[in-house]
Amino acid sequence: MKDNVPPARAGNAFLLAQLGAYAAQRFAERLAALELAPPQAGILRIIAITPGLSQQSVAQQLGTPPSRLVALIDGLEERGLIERRRNPDDRRHHALYLTEDGGRFMGRMAAVGMAHEDAICAGLDDEERARLNELLQRIAGKQGLTQFGHPGYDSIGKDGKPSKDAG
């Protein structure tokens, strides 16, 4: 093989980037049917898994500045999906909880997520999916990525879309 000839098949990093971009785009399209942006879905998921977190804690888990989440959380609250309650341990902060409507909405969001998972992994059987997940978890861990963090969260704007000033 000559030095300037690319390999015959794509590398793993390229395939991961390609699939990641495709999967993120398709997931955003699926969420749009619920009138939801991907960052809002992430916020709802965190609140569902760990109710009572402060906005600062949610922002920390997502890897984004708290000020970027305020409008997103406001929008979810206006839709009746979440509520802010005074934190009894620290009255300066509010704790975030799903409402009853929010709990029902999570069921709809889970169905969208499962359909997305099935579509993206359609070429794999259950055993292969489990192995792929194990390998991806290991890669993510080595890169210091967290369960909720996503590169897109550091650039979200007030509308839940990438901000124009994001670098």
* Residues contacting residue 24 through CB under 8 Å, at least 6 positions apart: 38, 152
Give the Cβ contact number of residue 87 at 10 Å.
Answer: 15
Q: How many angstroms separate the CA atoms of 116 and 19, rounded?
A: 13
Question: What are 82-98's pLDDT values in tens digits?
Answer: 999 987 777 777 899 99
- How does residue 158 score in pLDDT terms, banded at 50, 70 and 90? very low
Q: How many angstroms separate the CA atoms of 67 and 162, rounded?
A: 14
Give the Cβ contact number of residue 23 at 10 Å.
Answer: 15
Q: Take residue 136 and report the two structure tokens written for it.
A: 């991806």
Q: Please say if the pLDDT value at position 39 is more than 60.
A: yes
Residue 119: the pLDDT is 97
